[in-house]
């Protein structure tokens, strides 16, 4: 059966439990980046339709927060189960709209579902606190309450996981939510909504709207009923949204761009470091915000690392994500290809050495051969800008102090990775890196149990873990005076 006949394949917005078109019937094409085929059309929802959605979602939230935490937890568990039952179809749909290899899409569905399971379990642990009395006759209590109606704006690189990380804690806390997925990848979002509906999540609690980012973003930040905004995407857009959300002082979480250093110290296990670099750099064709962006290798291992890294990189198979052997799918669009090309050309002009791969030519379309540049320096654009593509610049370093200051010489602070066998160095370096997340001897760090997020221009707030629920709750202090 084609995935386009599946019950979860939807081409309409999901508002207040109904599947709806834009009132003016405007639509946008969804294009498979591997074949350039138009696979669906989704509504370009006008701003006025979103205003109605906000009203119904807020009302639904009033009911939802009255349900017991156990009821909310059970509905989330049902949704989780339905997602896993449909894992293969959801993964195929994701590969069609986003391009990532099917094996990665299958992994993402499981990963996306894991946030729902995690927060289903956290829902029943939304504990408060009791305080030592502020006076002889006074007693203090702290309770946690849902923040209210939430809005989530999500990117195209993880079309399912970036949503469930926001929806699951919101629903667990007793909030309703409106999600606006990226226009490149709305089908996974609508499929998740279809399964939430089937799971019995009440109408209006979860809503998915498709359309123009700036237009819908404006409504979501300017309507005072929306009490919380959670955004994942570029630092530029996140910064605009943060300014806009100031109007009604919305609570805000931002997960923005990164520029992750990946450091291989002299005492690293070389094979593990090479594998970690492959995992971290080339997952999703390099299109993740935690991808290794700058690879620093100690001079004593530099040549050996480059040789092994080149061998492993050249074995990666570029191809349509639907083919089982493919490891690197197409990039999302021409702009993405152009950005990687520009970084390579800039680096080569400034003295970098091409180890393998190279810039894409016009006839390559969205396909990009994994590329390694050696002898990268801080003068190059790739040292300062997020690459978001399958290109790895390798820098040589000599001492720990110097490499830490280079690693931190960026406005971003999302993830960092390093390889060492020395326990003192593990602790020392992990503490000094100015980031929200550190991988030590691993290139893969994400998990529903861990707080995901960054510092500096990489954002604010954390997703996942027990801390993830805090983003969707407010503390209320109650002071009791006794006679």
Where in 369-408 does DSSP place strands (E)? 371-374, 391-397
Bridge partners (DSSP) listed for residue 477: 142
Hey, what are 195's tokens?
């399964």
Interacting residue with ligand ADP among 217, 389, 439, 454 (CB under 6 A):
217
Interacting residue with ligand ADP among 16, 56, 237, 250 (CB under 6 A):
237
Residues in contact with 451: Cβ distance below 8 Å, sequence separation at least 6, in sequence order = 436, 437, 462, 463, 464, 465, 467, 468
Interacting residue with ligand ADP among 183, 270, 356, 430 (CB under 6 A):
183
C-beta of 278 vs 332, nearer to ligand ADP? 332
Q: Closest approach of Cβ 286 to ligand ADP, in Å?
A: 13
Q: Closest approach of Cβ 72 to ligand ADP, in Å?
A: 26
Spatial separation of the C-alpha atoms in residues 465 and 119, rounded to whole Å: 8
Interacting residue with ligand ADP among 134, 214, 351, 411 (CB under 6 A):
214
Q: What does the buried/exposed string (b/e) look like for 107-129 if buried means 16 or more CB atoms within 10 Å of the residue's CB? A: bbbebbbbbbbbbbebbeebeee
Catalytic residues: 255
Spatial separation of the C-alpha atoms in residues 18 and 205, rounded to whole Å: 12
* Three-class secondary structure of residue 438 per DSSP: strand
Hey, what are 390's tokens?
């399958």
Are 260 and 416 in contact by the 8 Å Cβ rule? The answer is yes
Q: Is 154 in the site for ligand ADP (CB under 6 A)?
A: yes
- Span of 176-184, 289-297, 421-429, 456-464 interacting with ligand ADP by CB under 6 A: 176-184
Q: Closest approach of Cβ 448 to ligand ADP, in Å?
A: 22
C-beta of 15 vs 289, nearer to ligand ADP? 289
Q: Closest approach of Cβ 235 to ligand ADP, in Å?
A: 8
Interacting residue with ligand ADP among 59, 87, 222, 234 (CB under 6 A):
234
Interacting residue with ligand ADP among 105, 182, 192, 297 (CB under 6 A):
182
Are 409 and 390 in contact by the 8 Å Cβ rule? The answer is no
- Which residues, numbered 239-258, are part of the site for ligand ADP (CB under 6 A)? 240-241
Pairing relationship of beta strands 260-264 and 415-419 according to DSSP bridges:
parallel
* Per-residue mark of binding to ligand ADP, 99-138 (x: CB under 6 A): ----------------------------------------
Q: Closest approach of Cβ 211 to ligand ADP, in Å?
A: 8
Residue with structure tokens 């520009």?
A: 342
* Three-class secondary structure of residue 384 per DSSP: helix
C-beta of 12 vs 288, nearer to ligand ADP? 288
Interacting residue with ligand ADP among 34, 50, 82, 153 (CB under 6 A):
153
Q: Closest approach of Cβ 255 to ligand ADP, in Å?
A: 10
Residue number, nearest CB to ligand ADP: 217
Full DSSP string of 155-213: -SSSTTHHHHHHHHHHHHHT--EEEE--TTSHHHHHHHHHHHHHHTPPTTTEEE--S-H
Closest of 317, 406, 361 to residue 103, by C-alpha: 317
Spatial separation of the C-alpha atoms in residues 270 and 275, rounded to whole Å: 9
- Number of residues lying near ligand ADP (CB under 6 A): 14
C-beta of 86 vs 245, nearer to ligand ADP? 245
- Which residues, numbered 426-455, are part of the site for ligand ADP (CB under 6 A)? none
C-beta of 44 vs 407, nearer to ligand ADP? 44
Q: What one-character DSSP code corresponds to residue 482?
A: -
Q: Closest approach of Cβ 256 to ligand ADP, in Å?
A: 8
What count of Cα atoms within 13 Å lies in the side-chain half-sphere of residue 74?
7
Q: Closest approach of Cβ 182 to ligand ADP, in Å?
A: 4
Please state the φ and ψ torsions of residue 296, each to the nearest 5 degrees: -105, 125
Hey, what are 50's tokens?
């979103």
Residue with structure tokens 């070389």?
A: 270
Q: Is 365 in the site for ligand ADP (CB under 6 A)?
A: no
Interacting residue with ligand ADP among 140, 213, 319, 358 (CB under 6 A):
213
Spatial separation of the C-alpha atoms in residues 350 and 82, rounded to whole Å: 52
- Span of 91-99, 222-230, 231-239, 434-442 interacting with ligand ADP by CB under 6 A: 231-239
Hey, what are 478's tokens?
């109650």
Hey, what are 247's tokens?
């109007």
C-beta of 260 vs 372, nearer to ligand ADP? 260
Q: What one-character DSSP code corresponds to residue 318?
A: B
- Span of 175-183, 295-303, 400-408, 450-458 interacting with ligand ADP by CB under 6 A: 175-183
Interacting residue with ligand ADP among 155, 359, 389, 413 (CB under 6 A):
155
Q: Which helix (H) or strand (E) holds 97?
A: helix 87-98
Are 31 and 37 in contact by the 8 Å Cβ rule? The answer is yes
Q: Closest approach of Cβ 475 to ligand ADP, in Å?
A: 28
C-beta of 93 vs 332, nearer to ligand ADP? 332
- Which residues, numbered 289-348, are part of the site for ligand ADP (CB under 6 A)? none
Q: Which residues bind ligand ADP (CB under 6 A)?
A: 153-155, 180, 182-183, 213-214, 217, 233-234, 237, 240-241
């Amino acid at each position: 059966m084609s995935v386009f006949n599946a019950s979860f394949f939807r081409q309409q917005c999901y508002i207040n439990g109904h599947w709806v078109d834009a009132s003016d019937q405007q639509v946008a094409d969804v294009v498979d980046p591997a074949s350039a085929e138009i696979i669906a059309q989704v509504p370009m929802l006008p701003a006025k339709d979103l205003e109605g959605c906000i009203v119904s979602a807020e009302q639904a939230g009033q009911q939802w927060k009255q349900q017991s935490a156990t009821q909310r937890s059970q509905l989330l568990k049902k949704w989780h189960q339905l997602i896993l039952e449909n894992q293969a179809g959801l993964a195929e749909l994701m590969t069609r709209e986003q391009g990532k290899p099917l094996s990665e899409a299958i992994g993402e569905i499981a990963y996306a579902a894991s946030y729902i399971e995690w927060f289903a379990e956290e829902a029943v642990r939304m504990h408060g606190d009791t305080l030592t009395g502020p006076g002889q006759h006074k007693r203090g209590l702290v309770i946690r309450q849902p923040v209210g109606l939430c809005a989530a704006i999500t990117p195209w690189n993880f079309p399912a996981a970036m949503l469930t990380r926001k929806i699951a804690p919101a629903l667990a806390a007793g909030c309703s939510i409106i999600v606006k997925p990226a226009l490149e990848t709305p089908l996974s979002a609508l499929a998740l909504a279809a399964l939430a509906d089937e799971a019995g999540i009440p109408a209006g609690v979860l809503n998915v709207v498709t359309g123009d980012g700036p237009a819908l973003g404006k409504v979501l930040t300017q309507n005072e009923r929306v009490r919380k905004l959670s955004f994942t995407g570029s630092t530029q857009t996140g910064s605009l949204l943060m300014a806009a959300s100031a109007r009604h002082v919305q609570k805000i979480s931002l997960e923005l761009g990164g520029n992750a250093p990946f450091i291989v110290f002299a005492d690293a296990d070389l094979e593990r470091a090479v594998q970690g670099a492959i995992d971290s750099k080339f997952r999703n064709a390099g299109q993740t915000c935690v991808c290794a962006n700058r690879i620093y290798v100690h001079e004593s291992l530099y040549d050996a690392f480059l040789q092994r890294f080149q061998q492993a990189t050249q074995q990666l198979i570029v191809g349509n994500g639907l083919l089982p052997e493919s490891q690197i799918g197409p990039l999302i669009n021409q702009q993405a290809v152009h950005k990687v090309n520009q970084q390579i050309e800039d680096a080569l002009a400034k003295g970098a050495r091409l180890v393998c791969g190279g810039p894409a030519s016009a006839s390559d379309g969205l396909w990009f051969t994994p590329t390694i540049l050696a002898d990268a320096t801080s003068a190059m654009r790739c040292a300062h800008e997020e690459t978001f593509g399958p290109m790895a610049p390798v820098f040589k370093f000599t001492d720990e102090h110097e490499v830490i200051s280079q690693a931190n010489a960026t406005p971003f602070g999302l993830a960092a990775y390093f390889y060492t066998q020395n326990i003192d160095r593990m602790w020392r370096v992990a503490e000094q890196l100015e980031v929200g997340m550190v991988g030590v001897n691993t290139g893969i760090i994400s998990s529903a149990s861990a707080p995901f997020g960054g510092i500096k221009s990489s954002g604010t707030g954390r997703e996942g873990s027990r801390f993830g629920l805090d983003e969707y709750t407010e503390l209320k202090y109650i002071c009791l005076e006794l006679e």
